[in-house]
Structure 1
Amino acid sequence: MFYRDAGELKTSHAQDQAIFPVALDRRAVALLLLCGAVVVPAAAGPYWLGSILLPFLILSLAAIGLNILTGYAGQLSLGSGAFMAVGAYAAANLVIRLPELAFPVSLALAGAIAGLVALAFGLLSLRIRGFYVAVATLAAQFFIEWVCTHVPWLVLNTPSGVVSTPALSLFGLRVDSITARYLVAFVVVVGLAFLAKNLVRSHVGRAWMAVRDHETAAELTGVDTVRAKLSAFAVSGFYCGVAGALWGFLYLGNVEIEAFSLHRSFQILFMVIIGGLGSILGSFLGAGFIVLLPVAIANLAVLLGAAIKPDVLANLELMIFGALIVGFLIVEPRGLARLAANARERARRWPLPY
């Protein structure tokens, strides 16, 4: 009896179309955001903030970007890491070459540049479909990696190719502590997550889902499939570009192409598949699973008294990821988000069995 939506009367269309129409859901989300903004920075140590929560937030943002393109628009992409690299290098050049720009402006411009690059490769999706779109984005991954390693101007002519990011300041306050970096990432990710949630519920999001479900039928019913595909690529590139900029400035402290390799693209794809295609919540659940799984494996090895080498641990993670993906595709193709929805439905019916 602790979760009920009965008695939630709506007196306007706006109330009926709210993101969280149930009051209990609104209170739960507000409490979760309060804990993330106040309790977690005060209680968590530097290890949890810097090594667990910060990459979790940034990778969740990248997973939302890929989920928009693959989960909502149905366009399989293997170039998320490349679009993150575009955002990271664009932000580094903007911040260093144009120091008069505020960091939020540079961050938005970096995301826009990544969106334009993704849009350019998205033009190929107008002539090809399915697996061939994935091959085109895979080509984008290799092409962008080559450009980032062979154009000295992009890396500010540094011999090593690694660009050290300068210290950030927001509204006159320096963002140098791990707590400050976590809070900046938290605000950006939460804001963009709510924006994505509203976007997929708008006419733009409905056009994406129409193209995903049946492109020919969508075109026959008046959906502009060209605009839908290109907008999905642009928005996805924007989110991945912002995530790449945050990854370089807030997490690594530098920008290097090795952080945005093909492995990163597959990692984000695993997050979307395990978390749930076509779900903003699934992006967070998948990112949390991928980030926490190596920690859980390492701690389990310590408890069992087994010493696992780093290379063996990395291969073990890949094996587990592959097994989980196959398992989710067989048992629950919609991933962890669907399991969470099923749990909520059971809570609504409890204590009744059906």
Structure 2
Amino acid sequence: MTITALTPAPINVPLAGASIAGVLVVAFGIVPFVGTGYLFEAILTPFLALSLAALGLNLLTGYAGQVSLGSAAFMAVGAFAAYNFNLRIPELPFLASLVLAGVTAAAVGLVFGLPSLRLRGFYLAVSTLAAQFFVQWALTKFSWFSNGSPSGVINAPPLTVFGLDLGSPVGRYLFSLSVVTVLTIVAVRLVRSQTGRNFIAIRDQETAARIIGVPVLRTKLVAFAVSSFFIGVAGVLWAFAYLRTVEPAGFNLDRSFQILFIIIIGGLASIRGAFFGAAFIVVFPLVLSRAGQAVFGGVFDSGVLEMSQRIVLGALIIVFLIAEPAGLAALLDRLKTRLVGAWAGR
């Protein structure tokens, strides 16, 4: 049975096919040849990893309506799982380690998603927050995960796929871009499928969804598993392609809130929103940092400037959410509609 009647809000999907093709042509065919090392390492690679993590959380929170504050924990599970698969089974291809890391994160997500069968809203958010503290505790308590490293910080192994060394900034960027592209296509197909419609039905009205035959319990667990898989793979990209170290500190509670802010800023239940929000979170602090150094560099020390940047960023996020609670995706859609209307009225 379909549930179209329970989905008054349309599913936001990426831009038209021609626009997507154009973006991919630029991303794969032009940027690698004209971009600088700073662009790849400080902007594009973290942007891609955070976009994928936000995409995973948006499937769970935006589409399925299940609030989670443990995203960084699932990123950590993915990163450490990939490291240990690579270490313990040397003959295993890295892409296989990547997929198995995502599966491991999905299994952990299933465990921590079990409370969603009884809890909702704030109480569910608190229960998922337990995943954050438990995973960080386990990774620091048991040295096996970090191969006995006294500090718990380990260098990520070389990034090699099909015999190709992707350790350069361009190579890590292209690898991240390829993974994010494939998983974004999977996400688009998922939200357009019956499973995606089931997600939205549970989000909009769980009782009505159960009455018309939607398998609520199974759908919730599927949402947690799929979301955790995406976030776990994003953790691998964050550790192997961006940080190039695997450490619990790279996946702290701040990272979970950062991913949550990304989907709120970009737009809930929007594939594009994950990318818009990640771009805002990655680029805007860099702009603030450069502006602060240029204007107040000789007056205040770096600590004061960094704290000021956080305050300004937080204030702007609040103002933006008041002005446009539906996120950047809705704002850009409205702007596009106005431009088209203005052009048609000429």
Q: Could you tell me the TM-score, scaled by structure 1's length?
A: 0.90
Could you tell me how far 1:330 is from its partner in structure 2? 2.2
Contact 2:265 2:328 in 1 (8 A): yes
How far, CA to CA, are the matches of 2:84 and 2:98 in structure 1?
11
How far, CA to CA, are the matches of 1:137 and 1:309 in structure 2?
38
Q: CA 1:317 to 1:304, structure 2 compared with 1: closer, same or farther past 3 Å?
A: closer
Q: CA 1:333 to 1:182, structure 2 compared with 1: closer, same or farther past 3 Å?
A: same
Q: Does 1:349 align with 2:311?
A: no
Q: CA 1:313 to 1:79, structure 2 compared with 1: closer, same or farther past 3 Å?
A: farther
Q: Which residue of 2 aligns with 1:7?
A: none
Match of residue 137, structure 1, among 101, 125, 128: 128
Which amino acid is 2:278 matched to?
A
Contact 1:84 1:244 in 2 (8 A): yes
How far, CA to CA, are the matches of 2:65 and 2:304 in structure 1?
35
How far, CA to CA, are the matches of 1:57 and 1:186 in structure 2?
7
How far, CA to CA, are the matches of 2:98 and 2:252 in structure 1?
21
Match of residue 312, structure 1, among 304, 308, 314: 304
Which amino acid is 1:27 matched to?
A
Match of residue 336, structure 1, among 298, 315, 328: 328
Q: Which residue of 1 aligns with 2:150?
A: 159
How far, CA to CA, are the matches of 2:321 and 2:157 in structure 1?
43
Q: How does 1:57-96 map to 2 (within 5 A)?
A: 57-96=48-87
Q: Which residue of 1 aligns with 2:170?
A: 179
Alpha-carbon deviations, 1:167-186, whole Å to 9, x = none?
12211111121111110000
Q: Which residue of 2 aligns with 1:224?
A: 215
How far, CA to CA, are the matches of 2:34 and 2:264 in structure 1?
32
Can you give the 5+ residue segments of structure 1 that lack an aligned partner in the other structure?
A: 1-16
Contact 2:146 2:154 in 1 (8 A): yes
How far, CA to CA, are the matches of 1:216 and 1:321 in structure 2?
39
Which shows bigger deviation, 319-328 or 332-341? 319-328
Could you tell me how far 1:112 is from its partner in structure 2? 0.6
Q: Which residue of 1 aligns with 2:18?
A: 27
Contact 1:125 1:229 in 2 (8 A): yes
Can you give the 5+ residue segments of structure 2 that lack an aligned partner in the other structure?
A: 1-10
Q: Which residue of 2 aligns with 1:118?
A: 109
How far, CA to CA, are the matches of 1:309 and 1:41 in structure 2?
36
Q: Does 1:274 align with 2:265?
A: yes
Which amino acid is 1:94 matched to?
F
Q: Which residue of 2 aligns with 1:203?
A: 194
Match of residue 327, structure 1, among 293, 315, 319: 319
Give the match's secondary structure for 1:350: helix
Q: Does 1:41 align with 2:41?
A: no
Q: Does 1:55 align with 2:43?
A: no
Q: Does 1:191 align with 2:182?
A: yes
Which amino acid is 1:336 matched to?
L
Could you tell me how far 1:126 is from its partner in structure 2? 0.5
Match of residue 292, structure 2, among 301, 306, 312: 301
Q: CA 1:215 to 1:320, structure 2 compared with 1: closer, same or farther past 3 Å?
A: farther
Could you tell me how far 1:353 is from its partner in structure 2? 6.1
How far, CA to CA, are the matches of 1:84 and 1:139 in structure 2?
15
How far, CA to CA, are the matches of 1:316 and 1:197 in structure 2?
38
Q: Which residue of 1 aligns with 2:249?
A: 258
How far, CA to CA, are the matches of 2:62 and 2:317 in structure 1?
15
How far, CA to CA, are the matches of 2:312 and 2:128 in structure 1?
25
Contact 1:270 1:321 in 2 (8 A): no
How far, CA to CA, are the matches of 2:301 and 2:74 in structure 1?
32
Q: CA 1:124 to 1:306, structure 2 compared with 1: closer, same or farther past 3 Å?
A: same
Could you tell me how far 1:305 is from its partner in structure 2? 4.7
How far, CA to CA, are the matches of 1:210 and 1:321 in structure 2?
34
How far, CA to CA, are the matches of 2:202 and 2:320 in structure 1?
24
Give the match's secondary structure for 2:287: helix
Q: Alpha carbon RMSD of aligned pairs, Å?
A: 1.8
Could you tell me how far 1:294 is from its partner in structure 2? 1.4
Q: Which runs of 4+ in 1 moved over 6 A?
A: none
